[in-house]
Structure 1
Amino acid sequence: MNTLIVVFLLGIGATAAMDLWSILRKSLLGIAPPNYGMVGRWLAYMPYGKFRHDSIAASAPIKREHYIGWIAHYLIGIVFAAVLIAVAGKPWILNPTIGPALMVGVGTVVAPFLLMQPGMGAGIASSRTLKPNSARLHSLINHAVFGLGLYASGWALKLYHYTQA
């Protein structure tokens, strides 16, 4: 299977796993899922030179921000899947292992901690939120779930590949 297709499918699968976790988390623990509309708003302001907001929720809404945020969410997942293959190498595709997938998944938490949260007004690693340690823990868990999703997606692709051979 073509490596670009594998990366695309790994990213989609892992991101979907993260989204399913958000749905489960809401129904089991009552924790609201991430609002990707706010990510879309943050990104939509960038072409206008605005990269940092005191509070993204207080910034004026942007047309179609919800769609922008969701598309960006999945595109970022695909980019992080490419990071996995760059780190673990193409042999990982034929024999997925949990270590590299989990390492990349947990490592991706750096992006929201150092880019998105500060840019959206939450501070570095959620330092400006009401419960920063709780927010950090949830981010870390979400990104670990993404790593598990990379691993599960890798195995699903491997099984599919062998059933087609």
Structure 2
Amino acid sequence: MNYETIYFAVLIGIGATITMDIWAWLKRVLFNQASLDYRLVGRWVLHWFCLTFSHQSIQQAQVKSGELAVGWLVHYLTGIVFAFGFVAVWGDQWTSPEFIPAIITGVATIVFPLFVMQPSFGMGIAARKTPKPWLARKNALITHSIFGLGLYFSSLLIYWIL
């Protein structure tokens, strides 16, 4: 992977994450639906320094200083890492953007929240301990599909600019 590919993978990851954040904002404004509070992501990550990787309830875990900033940083770093995966699996997509590989990648990223984050937050695998697990799964699928759209449109934008 050359420097140009690394640079554009970072931009694609940021663009895809921004797309996902716009979707979360639209859901909140249009449908009054809350999305993930990134303060909880920060709390989870900051607890790693105490060697605590999972919680009975992340909401009841000890509050950590700076958790909101850390949560947002981790959110964007995760989007960048997923974009690197996109480029590693599909090649330099930003040089000739294709819709299907981007959507497949976005949908594949659902593995992380369903099988890592939700269990670590005390929600169980695939949100099975939540009051409405299928709603949580549906929302995760839609959100990660939107991330895939963000991969595609970010790649397309970079391709168009170049």
- Give TM-score, length-normalised by structure 1: 0.95
The one-letter code sitting in structure 2 at the alignment partner of 1:141 is: I
CA distance in structure 1 between the partners assigned to 2:61 and 2:160 by the alignment: 46
CA distance in structure 2 between the partners assigned to 1:160 and 1:128 by the alignment: 46
Provide structure 1 residue ranges, at least 5 long, that are not aligned to the other structure: none
Match of 2:34 in 1: 32
The one-letter code sitting in structure 2 at the alignment partner of 1:80 is: F
Q: Post-superposition shift, 1:94?
A: 1.2
Provide structure 2 residue ranges, at least 5 long, that are not aligned to the other structure: none
Q: Post-superposition shift, 1:113?
A: 0.5
The one-letter code sitting in structure 2 at the alignment partner of 1:120 is: F
CA distance in structure 2 between the partners assigned to 1:67 and 1:82 by the alignment: 23
Match of 1:139 in 2: 140
> Alignment identity in percent?
41
CA distance in structure 2 between the partners assigned to 1:119 and 1:46 by the alignment: 11
Mapping of residues 14-29 of structure 1, within 5 Å:
14-29=16-31
Match of 2:65 in 1: 63
How many residues matched? 160
Supply the RMSD in Å over aligned alpha carbons: 0.9
Q: Runs in 1 of length 4+ with deviation above 6 angstroms?
A: none
Q: What secondary structure, in the 3-state scheme, does the structure 2 residue paired with 1:2 have? A: helix
Q: Does 1:117 align with 2:118?
A: yes
CA displacement, residues 14-55 of structure 1 (integer Å, 9 cap, x when unaligned): 000000000001111110121010010001001211011000
Q: Post-superposition shift, 1:84?
A: 0.5
Q: Does 1:107 align with 2:105?
A: no
